[in-house]
Structure 1
């Protein structure tokens, strides 16, 4: 392939990973609108699967896609990923109910889970020598830029697209067409469709006749299924913690939770055993014999928990405590996502001065301190403080990205670069899923309790409003305003515990971070071409490691 076509194709690959990064943050902005339209805040456990279902399918798809890229070639698989992601986006926008939206999000996640690892592999095949790291840098940067753009795109869509008047003018007052087009949050998913179609056309034209090397080998589908069941059952169990009853079941919730946890454990053991026996196991626990690799994966897992708490907790605080609209969410979540991108890019430069361990510890300390300060938020907290603290958290999280990835790939060696990088990413996504499930369980239990207190009897609401308003009916404007003020304070109180737990989890990551090593990474000196097989040849991606303290 000539260089011009390669650059065009790299742009298409970048568009794919940009969409995958965009989808995570743009949905966080739209989530409050979706919950209000398709459910209610009392159905938070089910609504949480809009994000958690996406994360679960994404986590399972990524490793499989990486292995399939080696066997089938990246061109066809990338095309398939774009088709599936675009179709899932269309179905999500058309979803008439919460259940169908969750199902569509699973389809979308399968496509997104294909785009990132296959896009990275394709960029590696497209360019050689000194051009390869730059191509991989473009792919990595666009993933984070997609995350950074998500809040702004989401806020622009939610706040700027209101097709109701146009539908009224066209005489479309009810029916399936109005349902599919009226709500602004639907366009958060629709926006992916024209971009996906255009990217697919460009990818087909630019990659025509281009193939990548293939290798034979079996895929550990049984291991993938067992791991999916283990993770899925564990997340369901965690989400249901605190439930007084489970819809459709007359059993004691405690018995159901124990059964789900036991089934998750059995499925996990089966996945591990299958991974050991398979030549290319989906879950190969033998990789974790390396203390450095295990530590990098654990840091990624724990920081993923904190990231999910910051994203969703921040969005809920802005929406339920500050009663801020999309523009306010854009500022808060945009500060977090932008700071993550800055931290991720800056961590590469920081490694030239400090070692892997020190940069990671600095990032973890920043993130943990930010979460502690976020737990002190009240209804009187201003937007500037919210954005500043979310930015500090994002910067800290971003600083941990490059060190943990570098430590993981170094620990396993060049033959397992793909497995190492995929494991670190998957660990982060699992941490995010666990964080969201824990947040959902705690939040839902508290919301259910408060709801039952307010509506226990016809006059129960009077206990939560000022005495001078207690002779007024529930629907009175002043009563509603007083209840909203009380609910705002309660929501802030709920988030105190959520942010503090995330701070503790992030602080725990300091222990495995100490095992990442103290190596610094320096830019290579200008010299003759490296000798094949030498240390400089092994680090031709533009870095050279030296021992640090």
Structure 2
């Protein structure tokens, strides 16, 4: 049984290194959007290249995050976590040295692989190391500090872009890794491992899932060409997705057991997750561009402008979760997306020379309020919809679904909104397309509210988790680990 106490020096070192590791991946999920206009200018990149700068990372992370959790189970969680941190830092260095857009996109893909290794491991190490009496507090602190990192991310990114340059958005990860790795090696106990006792490794399933996402994403981003090759790519992506489902259904030890979707509640809440995080991904990709390209904000001003969304989540998610415990998840999961949709429609007021107080602040505050209402109940409902033994797996699937939704949104939204390859170089053209995009995002949020209202049912008692209540990331739901049968489920 794990016996590290929170008050001990070792407990503090474990918390520090896991927060540092997860913050690296979290920061790069939030700060890069702020840097996109400067990256496009310096590397002479078109809109497709900027989409891939975001999506190359998200694609690798979404496609491999479940596999990353399973690797820790098999080969040791500390070992995989440290490998992930080193891998992520090396890829970050390549990003910072990128001579052109193609090199940057390739390096971002490598970053995503590192993120898939370290992200599940950071929480799994806490779950596997701390005494049961201290585990809830440790997880709450881990989530809270991660939320603070998410809040600081856009501000820090904007300061770096306007100051030493956008390359330092990536280079900053190198000293963080140099601090994180020695602490992990000296103070974090190893857990997991055991080789083949967890069954065969689902490499084929992971490859098919990632391939399907990659091909569909490519087809959506390059669809402006309208060529036969793009159509064939889309068809191949769908075929890879079907093959993924077939493989997962037939394998004895699949990465994503399909029988978990036998729970109607689990399936329904994941549909709500897809709607909400698709809108989120599209909003944060385009909002930072809109504020800089159209409204004339600096990178620092644009990053700071979006801070209230995350700050509101940090301050009030716990209260929202407590309220949902009393009234059930159906109302929060219906009202939250509707309030978020209202915030997105308020973004239509953000145009040339937009006033922050009169135009931007009301929109991001209303949008943030919608997230406050829905995020904690959404995660709690996912965890409560399956058995305790599968809570970690359920959380990993929900997290991957959210990231995949954001990936598809960033790929599809510019196409649906009619943005040309050079739209972000023209304030008028981008402003027009941004308005259409916000209406689409609001519509997707409303769809999520309708799904929640029609399908979500009351939760069983005592389903609250500390990581559901203290959460500040706007890129994905919090991961949750659950010890069962002597191991952590994939995705912990």
Q: Would you say same fold, with TM above 0.5? A: yes
Which of 262, 286, 294 does residue 267 from structure 2 map onto? 294
Q: Secondary structure at the match of 1:91?
A: helix
* Alpha carbons of structure 1 residues 145 and 212: separation in structure 2 relative to 1, 3 Å: same
Larger Rg: 1
> Residue in 2 aligned with 1:517?
457
1:319 aligns with 2:299: no
> Residue in 2 aligned with 1:170?
none
Cα distance per residue 1:253-272 (max 9 Å; x no partner): 24233212211111111111
* Alpha carbons of structure 1 residues 197 and 95: separation in structure 2 relative to 1, 3 Å: same
Q: Secondary structure at the match of 1:405?
A: helix
* Alpha carbons of structure 1 residues 263 and 517: separation in structure 2 relative to 1, 3 Å: same
> Residue in 2 aligned with 1:410?
384
Q: Secondary structure at the match of 2:306?
A: helix
Separation (CA, whole Å) in 2 of partners of 1:200 and 1:103: 24
Which of 219, 223, 232 does residue 237 from structure 1 map onto? 219
| TM-score, with structure 1 as normaliser | 0.79
> Residue in 1 aligned with 2:361?
387
Which of 68, 73, 79 does residue 70 from structure 1 map onto? 73
Contact residue 343 and residue 394 of structure 1 kept, 8 A: no
1:182-221 residue pairs with structure 2 within 5 A?
184-207=165-188, 210-212=190-192, 214=194, 215-221=197-203
Contact residue 371 and residue 393 of structure 1 kept, 8 A: yes
Q: RMSD of the alignment, in Å?
A: 2.3
Contact residue 20 and residue 146 of structure 1 kept, 8 A: no
> Residue in 2 aligned with 1:11?
16
Separation (CA, whole Å) in 2 of partners of 1:488 and 1:31: 15
> Residue in 2 aligned with 1:430?
404
> Residue in 2 aligned with 1:20?
25
Cα distance per residue 1:221-257 (max 9 Å; x no partner): 111111111111111111123x2x3xxxxxxx24233
Cα distance per residue 1:161-199 (max 9 Å; x no partner): 2xxxxxxxxxxxxxxxxxxxxxx1001111111011111
The worse-fitting range, judged by mean Cα deviation, of 336-345 and 105-114 is: 336-345
> Residue in 2 aligned with 1:31?
36
Contact residue 233 and residue 260 of structure 1 kept, 8 A: yes
> Residue in 2 aligned with 1:120?
123
* Structure 2 residue ranges without an equivalent (≥5): 465-481, 484-492
Separation (CA, whole Å) in 1 of partners of 2:414 and 2:449: 26
Separation (CA, whole Å) in 2 of partners of 1:262 and 1:89: 33
* Alpha carbons of structure 1 residues 510 and 442: separation in structure 2 relative to 1, 3 Å: closer
> Residue in 2 aligned with 1:142?
145
Which of 420, 424, 432 does residue 493 from structure 1 map onto? 432
Offset, 1:18? 1.6
Separation (CA, whole Å) in 1 of partners of 2:441 and 2:213: 20
* Alpha carbons of structure 1 residues 129 and 516: separation in structure 2 relative to 1, 3 Å: farther
> Residue in 2 aligned with 1:80?
83
Moved over 6 A (4+): none
> Residue in 1 aligned with 2:442?
503
Separation (CA, whole Å) in 2 of partners of 1:115 and 1:341: 23
Separation (CA, whole Å) in 2 of partners of 1:254 and 1:340: 43
Separation (CA, whole Å) in 2 of partners of 1:44 and 1:113: 26
* Alpha carbons of structure 1 residues 228 and 211: separation in structure 2 relative to 1, 3 Å: closer
1:349 aligns with 2:322: yes
Offset, 1:64? 0.3
Q: Secondary structure at the match of 2:184?
A: helix
Separation (CA, whole Å) in 1 of partners of 2:373 and 2:86: 34
Separation (CA, whole Å) in 2 of partners of 1:521 and 1:363: 22
Separation (CA, whole Å) in 2 of partners of 1:336 and 1:117: 25
Larger relative contact order (Cα-Cα within 8 Å, sequence gap ≥ 6): 2
| TM-score, with structure 2 as normaliser | 0.87
Q: Secondary structure at the match of 1:379?
A: coil
1:390-469 residue pairs with structure 2 within 5 A?
390-442=364-416, 445-448=418-421
Which of 90, 106, 111 does residue 108 from structure 1 map onto? 111
The worse-fitting range, judged by mean Cα deviation, of 282-291 and 298-307 is: 282-291
Separation (CA, whole Å) in 1 of partners of 2:182 and 2:403: 30
Offset, 1:2? 4.4
Offset, 1:522? 6.3
* Alpha carbons of structure 1 residues 224 and 237: separation in structure 2 relative to 1, 3 Å: same
1:241-320 residue pairs with structure 2 within 5 A?
241=223, 243=224, 245=225, 253-320=226-293
* Structure 1 residue ranges without an equivalent (≥5): 162-183, 246-252, 452-483, 525-538, 541-549
